[in-house]
Structure 1
Amino acid sequence: MALATTIDFLLAKAVDNGVAAGFYAMAANRDGVVYSGGAGTRDGKSPWADDTVAWLASMTKSIVAVAALQLVERGVIGLDTPTADVLPELAASHVLEGYDGDVPRLRPVRTPVTLRMLLSHTAGAGYSFLSADLARYQQENKIPTSLECKLASIVDSPLVYEPGTDTWYGTGLEWVGLAISRLTGRDLATHLREAVFDPLGMVDTAFGIVDRSRLATVWAKTPDGLMTVPFELPAEPEFFSGGGGLYGTPRDYLTFLRMLGAGGVFNGVKLLEPETLTAAQQSHSAVFGRLVSANPATSHDIDLLPGTPVSWSLLGIRNEERTPQARPVGTVAWAGGANCYYWVETDGATAGVLFTQLVPFADPGVIGLFADIEQAARA
């Protein structure tokens, strides 16, 4: 069966089964785009397209990581230099070790935090939806959520373990975005546009919605079926969220992935040196498995590659064993909170995205569909 026919069928079947209201998928190899198509609707009436605008959520992180690595290449910051000078609030933070009754156990952080730790999710920063203690602390102290795009969401939140002693998933890239802004003297939106988006021709990716007429609606799975939910990040954020603030399109994001797969170069434009990218794609954390959700309304338990051990590169997760979909060891991948997903092989053999706008995150049906699409793209 031809690739297009196979993936068209998979997408249509997922919509018919109520996995989501609509999807768009794209895949590429070294020769170019090999699949681009969708099923269902983006807003209840209009079909998905390659230029449909969607909330990228945590797929923002990989883009911000590239911008940070560009600064490393220029000698502006080192991967292993303590970040206290540029992020003094982080250096002065505390570690939340738990609660004694109603009293939080807090102690000053002891270990200097580095850029490598922030990029590889080993810095101690956490997300409240993965930590009941952190969620409790933020609620009791009226700390804004990351979706409010306020600096207090990271500055006033404690770490959840001592930097460098564990592997977690959290707000490290929020801190990286703040560091980029301070190091360059310009806001993160401007810097990403000039350093990444404009060179690659990613015309629809921004902190904000470039064209509301192409915007996909966010849907939620409820006991009564799929329902639309009002969602939009602040139009004028207090600070630009390096961990999840971007909107973009399937077409733009696949372009970004093809640059990663081609060694930092796309259409003659070099964003990173191949050596930098190769080092970034290596493992920089301990191996881990399922991430257990503390807030089922936000996310299911996160296990994007069931049964396959993974670790953090500086760009996203990497699988440490070959997967049932024949994903080679070391392939970089990650996802966004509204159930967008990507993979990219380090040698550019294949790359792909699956877009939808559905909460909660890590929907098993969408993860299964993504696996089937990836397997088809490799066949």
Structure 2
Amino acid sequence: MTSAKTIDRLLAKAVDDGVGAGFYTMVARRGGLVYSGGAGTRDGTSPWREDTIAWLASMTKSIVAVAALQLVEHGAVELDAPIVDVLPELATLQVLEGYDGEVPRLRPVRTQVTLRMLLSHTSGAGYSFLSADLARYQQKNRIPTNLELKLASLVDTPLVYEPGTTTMYGNGLEWVGLAITRITGRDLATHLQEAVFDPLRMTDTAFGIVDRSRMATVHAKTPNGLTALPFELPSAPEFLSGGGGLYGTPRDYLTFLRMLGAGGILNGVRLLDSEMLTAAQQSHSMVFGRAASVNPTTSHDIDLLPGTSVSWSLLGMRNEERTPQDRPVGTVAWAGGANCYYWVDTDGATAGVLFTQLVPFADPDVVRLFADIEQAIRT
């Protein structure tokens, strides 16, 4: 059975088994498209297509990281200099060390945060769905959630560890997005449009929905099956989310990945210097493993490569050993909260996306489906 027929079968079976309402996958090899197909529906009626619009959620992070690295190349910001001149709020944040009964243990931050820390998830910034103490603090102090897109969700939320001392997936890219707006003097949407989307002709990727007629419906997996979930980010946010605010399509995102796999250039347009990209793809964090969720309605425990050591590059997660799917060491990969996933080999050998719109995140069945798709491509 060819890899295309295998992927067709995997996607159809996932729909038949109720894993999700619909899926779409695109894969490139050496820059050329080798698979594009889907199964199920995006909205209960219409099929998924390569131009179906979905919430990218945390797949936004890699795009914003590229925009930040462009500014490093241009000398507008340094990776390892304290970034408090751009983000003075970080200097006054406290570290939440835990609780003594009902009283939070807070202390001033001792280490100045850098752009490298924010990009590599070593800055101390956390997510409440991965930290019971942080969730407790935000609830007690009525701090808005990340999805409300209010500045208070950033500036009133303490760090969960001393910057530079460990690795924890968190909202550091929200700060990066804010830094880009202050450095450039432009809102994040305008800057990404001119710096990334227009050069790559990513016409459907934006902080708003460019065409509602192509929008996919988010579903929640419940004990009673899949349930359509009305979801849309705020239309008038206080800030544009560099950590999860973009909508886009499988076709656009694969275009972005092809640029990364080709050394920062695509169709004659260079977005990043090859040396900068190579350095960014290296490990910039401590090795970590499974991330335990404390909010099962938001996410399952996160372990996208079970049994494999992983760390963070400046562009996404990277595996530190070859995977059972034969993924090369150093492949960059990550995902979005509605169970979209991607990988891109640093040498451009393969790149792939799996799109759906399903919560909670890190659904074990979708993670296995993604692994099986990658296996089909690499064998």
Please report the TM-score for the alignment, with normalisation by the length of structure 2. Answer: 0.99
Q: Secondary structure at the match of 2:98?
A: strand
Q: Aligned letter for 1:226?
A: L
- Secondary structure of the residue aligned to 2:70 is helix
1:238 CA displacement: 1.0
Q: Per-residue CA shift, 1:208-229, capped at 9, x if unaligned?
A: 1000000000001101000011
Q: CA RMSD in A?
A: 0.5
Q: Which runs of structure 2 are paired with 1:22-171 in the superposition (5 Å)?
A: 22-171=22-171
Please give the alpha-carbon distance, in whole angstroms, between the structure 2 residues aligned to 1:252 and 1:105.
45
2-structure distance, mates of 1:164, 1:3: 42
Q: Which residue of 1 aligns with 2:349?
A: 349
The ranges of structure 1 where at least 4 consecutive aligned residues each deviate by more than 4 angstroms after the TM superposition are: none
Amino acid at match of 1:353: V
The 5 Å alignment of 1:228-239 reads: 228-239=228-239
Partner Cα distance (1:296, 1:229) in 2 = 16
Distance 1:145 1:269 in 2: 38
Counterpart amino acid of residue 82 in structure 1: P
Shift in Å at residue 377 of structure 1?
Answer: 1.2
SS in 2 for 1:125: coil
The match for 2:216 is 216
C-alpha contact (below 8 Å) 1:83/1:91 kept by paired residues: no
Name the aligned partner's letter for residue 50 of structure 2.
D
Q: Deviations over 1:100-134 (max 9, x none)?
A: 11111111101000000000000000000000110
CA distance in 2, matches of 1:34, 1:276: 28
Distance (Å, rounded) in 1 between the aligned partners of 2:99 and 2:189: 38
Partner of 2:13: 13
Contact 2:31–2:262 (Cα < 8 Å) also in 1: no
Q: Distance in 2 between matches of 1:246 and 1:307?
A: 31
Q: Distance in 2 between matches of 1:284 and 1:22?
A: 35
Q: Secondary structure at the match of 2:11?
A: helix
Give per-residue Cα distances to partners, 1:39-69, cap 9 Å, x unaligned: 0000111100000000000000000000000
Partner residue of 2:3?
3
Gapped regions of structure 1 (runs ≥ 5): none
- CA shift, 1:3, in A, is 2.2
* Alpha-carbon distance between aligned partners in 2 of 1:154 and 1:171, rounded to the nearest angstrom: 8
Deviations 1:219-267 (A, max 9, x none): 0110100001111001121100000000000000000000000000000
Structure 2 CA distance for aligned equivalents of residues 139 and 89 of structure 1? 21
| Structure 2 segments unaligned to the other structure (5+ residues) | none
Question: How much does 1:366 deviate?
Answer: 0.3
Query: For 1:131-280, what aligned pairs fall within 5 Å after superposition?
Result: 131-280=131-280
Q: 1:378 Cα shift? A: 1.3
Paired letter, 2:316: G
Match of 1:376, SS state, is: helix
Match of 2:335 in 1: 335
TM-score after normalising by structure 1? 0.99
Q: Is the CA contact (8 Å cut-off) linking 1:98 and 1:105 kept in structure 2? A: yes
Aligned length in residues: 379
Give distance in 2, aligned partners of 1:290 and 1:198.
Answer: 37
Separation in 1, partners of 2:236, 2:76 = 28
CA distance in 2, matches of 1:347, 1:354: 20
Contact 1:122 1:165 in 2 (8 A): yes
Paired residues of 2:27 and 2:351 also in contact (CA < 8 A): yes
